[in-house]
């Protein structure tokens, strides 16, 4: 990795998707006077993840409405209307209906992406102009906030299904993925080298279509690179690491997603027992919630200690009941009341979450399960694995779904072991009440991301040298926390990438060899098939290492979706029976660079 001679000003130079999307909001709202913000279903979530309603109110946004809910807009409004929507056929139709029967004083149209990447969309502007008979549209602009910025290092497109990438013809989901990646590049002003996993048809297709979009919109991508090396878009496949999404999570953000589920930075506690009505939806935003920001990557034990400290601080600051206060004391109390109320809300929220984590951890035996999962992930000992898995399956407190994931992990590691106890475990799963479709997920997981489907030896057990490396590392592994021994494959890919050791045959580049040798400074990892919050932690930790080493570089993790174990099982259900990735690919062209014939084959670590 390259180190600069002087201290790096990361705040001035870092890529930040949240800041990129937020930077568009003042441009849209600079219209004088009161305004209504008109959004579609997706842009409502995109905007909601980077700015609050309170902040928008300061910019005189008096109402936020949905474009498709036109029937609710009965009476005309004296406000200006700021429209921010995706450039889709449906939205154009709704806009034309709105302009034919306008309800606002003026309209300012902003699209979240390129309006005309295809010839047929050139009609859209003409349709809008024809509908605007009263000449109320004051401006039409393209902006590039067409993705969901989770935080300053993680981005999702909220697309859990990537199956359409296997279809030969065009598909709206494929277009949406290309739109999202293109928007991310444009919003941060990056013209990248594109590298992709050559053994994945999905990665190849996305690389090809993004490269074509960049070439088509060359004028928009005419950015001047101020770095010594070009930005890099690295496209990888979830299939390469099916283990990480199956493991129990023990950091705050990852636990929240695994045990409850985070969608657009919001937790839904409505199905949790004992939840309060006013706390059914909790916002998990690291910008506005300092406790969440400081604890999102800490483990469960550390969170418990910090929760106690938070409660103690609140109790010390809160007014005591029954105390007699002077006028001066009451005045001070009223001045401090907003801060006290904010602290009260934060305390209630985080105490409720940690209580729910503790409840599930105890009732589902998650710590005991996690220890077995970690041993399966990092240790090659079949006899011990059989005993541990059997003990868990016989335990009535282990839920059927948790048992299923445990057997999936076992089978992924020992799928080719001649003494494989899979049939015995399948019988035990059946006794727990799993039906044939659920049992089939064990084999589907092997087909989805088993040894024959992976290019990386994630268990280091394919050849003699790999097994020896694994054996040597085991006694030296830091096991002070047995619940977090496993590290995602992404960590190895990042280290190889920044050491210029990432296999150029496995990860070729569009347009030839440019960018294959030199260590990158700005990297966007895009994971097809869904990333996890453990991998988001991996990226955050890697960025922290870079900063501590005064290395002027940064990584962002983007993905079609962010998984917990439940959504990953849905991914396996959809994709595990699809054999089309197994076939040899025909010669195709990605960004002008011919791709050699590739079959899915093994590439061992260290070769």
Q: Which residues of 569-604 are buried (b: 16+ CB within 10 A; e: fewer)?
A: bebbbbbbeeeebeeebeeeebbebebeebebeeee
Contact residues for 573 (Cβ-Cβ < 8 A; gap 6+): 441, 444
Look up the CATH architecture of domain 17-144: 3-Layer(aba) Sandwich (3.40)
Antiparallel, parallel or unpaired: β 107-111 and 137-142: parallel
Tell me which CATH code domain 252-319+334-363 carries: 3.90.830.10
SS (H, E, C) 495-507: HHHHCCCCCCCCC
Q: What's the pLDDT score for residue 9?
A: 42
Angle among Cα 547, 258, 434 to the nearest 5 degrees reads 145
DSSP string, 39-62: E-HHHHHHHHTT--HHHHHHTTEE
Q: For tokens 């910008």, what's the residue?
A: 287
Q: What's the pLDDT score for residue 71?
A: 81
* Residue 46 near residue 21 (C-beta atoms within 8 A): yes
Q: What's the pLDDT score for residue 269?
A: 83
Are 17-144 and 252-319+334-363 equal in CATH topology? no
Rounded (10°) angle between helices 327-363 and 366-378? 60
Q: What's the pLDDT score for residue 479?
A: 39
Ordered mean pLDDT values, 10 residues apiece, the chain (607 residues)? 36 78 95 91 96 92 92 87 95 95 94 77 85 94 96 96 84 93 96 95 95 92 82 96 96 95 90 71 89 93 88 70 48 50 75 90 95 95 96 96 97 93 96 96 96 89 47 42 90 94 92 67 96 97 94 96 95 76 36 34 28
Q: What is residue 560's three-state secondary structure?
A: coil
Domain residue limits, the chain: 17-144, 152-241+488-595, 252-319+334-363, 366-464
C-alpha–C-alpha distance, residues 373 and 410, integer Å: 8
Query: Which tokens is 175 given?
Result: 């277009």
Q: What's the pLDDT score for residue 480?
A: 52
Burial class (CB in 10 A: 0-12, 13-18, 19+), 155: buried
Q: For tokens 């809910």, what's the residue?
A: 69
Backbone φ and ψ for 93, nearest 5 degrees, come out as -60, -45
- Superfamily of domain 152-241+488-595, CATH level 4: Sec1/Munc18 (SM) protein, domain 2 (3.40.50.1910)
Q: What is residue 162's three-state secondary structure?
A: coil
* Residue 526 near residue 206 (C-beta atoms within 8 A): yes
Q: Which residues of 201-233 are buried (b: 16+ CB within 10 A; e: fewer)?
A: bbbbbbbbbbbbbbeeeeebbeeeeeeebbbbb
What residues are paired with 47 via a beta bridge? Answer: none
* Residue 278 near residue 235 (C-beta atoms within 8 A): no
* Residue 49 near residue 24 (C-beta atoms within 8 A): no
pTM: 0.87
């Amino acid at each position: 990795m390259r180190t600069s001679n002087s201290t790096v000003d990361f705040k001035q130079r870092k890529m930040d998707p949240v800041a990129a999307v937020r930077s568009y909001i003042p441009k849209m709202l600079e219209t004088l006077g009161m305004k209504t913000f008109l959004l579609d279903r997706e842009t409502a979530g995109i905007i909601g993840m980077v700015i609050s309603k309170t902040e928008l109110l300061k910019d005189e946004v008096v109402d936020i409405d949905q474009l498709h809910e036109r029937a609710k807009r009965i009476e005309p409004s004296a406000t200006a209307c700021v429209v921010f929507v995706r450039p889709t056929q449906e939205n154009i139709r709704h806009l034309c209906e709105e302009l034919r029967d306008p309800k606002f004083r003026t309209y300012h149209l902003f699209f979240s992406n390129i309006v005309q990447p295809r010839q047929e969309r050139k009609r859209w502007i003409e349709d809008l102009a024809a509908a605007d008979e009263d000449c109320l549209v004051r401006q039409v602009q393209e902006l590039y906030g067409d993705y969901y910025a989770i935080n300053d290092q993680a981005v999702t497109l909220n697309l859990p299904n990537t199956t359409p990438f296997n279809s030969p013809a065009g598909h709206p989901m494929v277009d949406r993925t290309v739109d999202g990646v293109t928007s991310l590049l444009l919003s941060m002003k990056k013209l990248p080298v594109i590298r992709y996993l050559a053994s994945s048809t999905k990665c190849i297709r996305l690389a090809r279509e993004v490269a074509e979009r960049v070439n088509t919109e060359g004028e928009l991508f005419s950015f001047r690179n101020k770095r010594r090396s070009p930005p890099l878009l690295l496209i990888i496949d979830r299939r390469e690491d099916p283990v990480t999404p199956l493991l129990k999570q023990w950091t705050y953000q990852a636990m929240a997603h695994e045990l409850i589920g985070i969608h657009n930075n919001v937790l839904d506690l409505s199905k949790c027992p004992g939840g309060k009505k006013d706390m059914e939806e909790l916002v998990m935003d690291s910008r506005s919630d300092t406790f969440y920001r400081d604890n999102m990557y800490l483990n469960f034990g550390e969170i418990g200690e910090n929760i106690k400290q938070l409660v103690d601080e609140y109790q010390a600051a809160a007014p005591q009941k029954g105390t007699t206060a002077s006028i001066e004391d009451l005045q001070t109390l009223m001045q401090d009341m907003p801060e006290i109320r904010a602290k009260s809300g934060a305390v209630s929220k985080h105490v409720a979450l940690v209580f729910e984590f503790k409840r599930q951890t105890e009732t589902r035996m998650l710590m005991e399960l996690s220890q077995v999962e970690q041993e399966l992930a990092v240790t090659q000992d079949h006899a011990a694995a059989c005993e541990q898995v059997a003990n868990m399956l016989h335990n009535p407190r282990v839920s059927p779904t948790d048992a299923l994931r445990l057997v999936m992990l076992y089978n992924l590691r020992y799928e080719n072991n001649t003494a494989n106890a899979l049939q015995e475990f399948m019988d035990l799963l059946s006794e727990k009440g799993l039906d044939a479709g659920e049992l089939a997920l064990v084999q589907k997981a092997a087909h989805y991301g088993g040894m024959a489907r992976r290019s990386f030896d994630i268990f280091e057990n394919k050849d003699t040298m790999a097994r020896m490396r694994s054996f040597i590392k085991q006694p030296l592994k830091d096991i002070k926390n047995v619940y977090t021994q496993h590290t995602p494959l992404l960590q190895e890919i990042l280290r190889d990438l920044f050491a210029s050791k990432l296999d150029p045959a496995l990860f070729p580049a569009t347009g030839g060899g440019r960018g294959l040798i030199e260590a990158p400074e700005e990297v966007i990892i895009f994971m097809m098939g869904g990333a996890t919050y453990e991998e988001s932690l991996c990226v955050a930790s890697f960025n922290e290492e870079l900063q501590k080493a005064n290395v002027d570089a940064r990584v962002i993790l983007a993905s079609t979706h962010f998984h917990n174990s439940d959504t990953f099982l849905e991914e396996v259900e959809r994709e595990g029976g699809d054999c089309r990735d197994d076939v040899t690919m025909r010669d195709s062209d990605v960004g002008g660079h011919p791709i050699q014939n590739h079959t899915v084959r093994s590439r061992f670590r260290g070769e």
